[in-house]
Amino acid sequence: MEQHILWFNRLLRVSLALYFRQECEYSDLEEVQAPEDGWLERMTGVDDLDFREKVVVMLALMPHVCPQGLDILFVQNTGVGRPYTEFGGWKGLSHGGFLPTGETAAFILAGENAEKRQDVIKLFHQDHRLHVRNILHMEGGGEGEPFLSGQLRASDELLSRVFFGREYKPDYRMGFPAKRVTTALEWEDMVLDYRVQNELGEINTWIQGHRTVMEEWGLSRFLKAGYRTLFYGPPGTGKTLAATLIGKRNGMDVYRVDLSMIVSKYIGETEKNLAVVFDLAENRNWILFFDEADALFGKRTSANTSNDRHANQEVAYLLQRIEDFPGTVILATNLRANIDEAFSRRFQSVIYFPMPERDMRVELWKKMLPSNWLGSDADALINMAAEAELSGGSISNVIRRCALHLLSKKENCLSRNVLREALDKEELKR
């Protein structure tokens, strides 16, 4: 990093000298060669960064790694008694240094050359790889103001790699109403009906091979990007676990959206909260998981009141955002009938998670009960437990209750009576 900071500081001085036609050892900016140690390529994950890309990435990083290096751009234009317009830049609320804008990048790379300026603008287009790969972006430009007036921002992913040497994992907070969900279980630990297993396999196949389908086979002309699926069925039947394990199997983070922080009674706020999640997830390798989705994706009603119209607008907005989202979206609900039909038509798959049959319950008990709890009558205990028509989530509750009993009694072996009592208490909850 140190070598790149020194390189950029030299580059900035050369750019100013060339612009003001001062004496300079270089006649062209690109003669100031960047370090070849590959640091910037490792930080961005792009192996073939060109000169202009290296410049704008370092410019975005400078307020974080060497803010004083940009102080030279605070120089005043003595002819008009104000800063140079062409330098761009913002002054932060608490940061006293120079915050670069797209205009700053255009000045350094293009000076007064209009054609080069056009090339710089292309660096900040939403289709450019610096944006698509979440390396940097511009934000905050006012409506009707020049395109390059937005602040040049290094992404959280880039800053996380630079400062912490790891991938960025956003935390649950007011400004980001979603939480990453993980599990210690593996795909083989999941006990599901074979039909459900097959349909989940299709989702894995899409995630692993969608580039072949869309790009190599040319089906992007006819198929929407991304994959949308609905999981429905009784509580505790494995919907959340399945979503989490799909992410784990494919090396993707799964973010469960907190609907309590999404839905707002104020007009426009629900859409705004959702936009935060979708915008942040747009170009990341995430799966968005909406649990209890009928609270947000419910059926539209006749627009008899302003509240009805507002609710219908929210559903329409959700429909559009999900349809345009290029990644994987999983919705989960206990009752499929509560989901608006307009969503159902746009799901690539709708998967029913049934209550487990007896043979599946036997397998669940065998996987979940610690072997050191069971004595010589292990099979009898498991067969007794499997008679109770419980979901996997309910079975885990029974096992927790048994564990608490054994702890309190300082025992290590599970008896038939203790298991029976725990099963009865769980069945009373139904």
Task: Write phi, then psi, for 167 (nearest 5 degrees).
Answer: -70, 150
Per-residue confidence (pLDDT) for residue 261, from 0 to 100 = 66
Per-residue confidence (pLDDT) for residue 268, from 0 to 100 = 64
DSSP assignment letter at 35: P
Residues of CATH 3.40.50.300 domain(s) within the chain?
A: 178-352
Report how far residue 229's alpha carbon sits from residue 227's, in angstroms, rounded to the nearest whole number: 7
DSSP assignment letter at 236: T
Give the Å distances, CA to CA, from 213 to 133, 204, 221, 223, 249: 21, 14, 11, 9, 20
Q: Are strands 82-83 and 76-77 parallel, antiparallel or unpaired?
A: antiparallel
Q: Which CATH superfamily is domain 178-352 in?
A: P-loop containing nucleotide triphosphate hydrolases (3.40.50.300)
Report how far residue 48's alpha carbon sits from residue 105's, in angstroms, rounded to the nearest whole number: 20
Per-residue confidence (pLDDT) for residue 166, from 0 to 100 = 87
Per-residue confidence (pLDDT) for residue 167, from 0 to 100 = 83
CATH of domain 358-428: 1.10.8.60
Per-residue confidence (pLDDT) for residue 363, from 0 to 100 = 96
Report how far residue 257's alpha carbon sits from residue 97's, in angstroms, rounded to the nearest whole number: 36
Residue 396: partners with Cβ closer than 8 Å, 6 or more residues away? 236, 368
The kind and range of the H/E element at 333 are strand 328-333
- Taking the chain (430 residues) in runs of 10, the rounded mean pLDDT of each run is 95 94 91 93 93 96 95 90 90 89 95 91 91 87 85 92 88 74 94 94 95 92 91 94 96 85 65 79 87 68 51 70 89 81 80 95 94 87 94 95 94 92 89
Report how far residue 151's alpha carbon sits from residue 140's, in angstroms, rounded to the nearest whole number: 6
SS3 290: strand
Residues of CATH 1.10.8.60 domain(s) within the chain?
A: 358-428
Per-residue confidence (pLDDT) for residue 335, from 0 to 100 = 81
Residues 426, 260, 283, 35: is their CA dihedral positive or negative? negative
Per-residue confidence (pLDDT) for residue 92, from 0 to 100 = 82
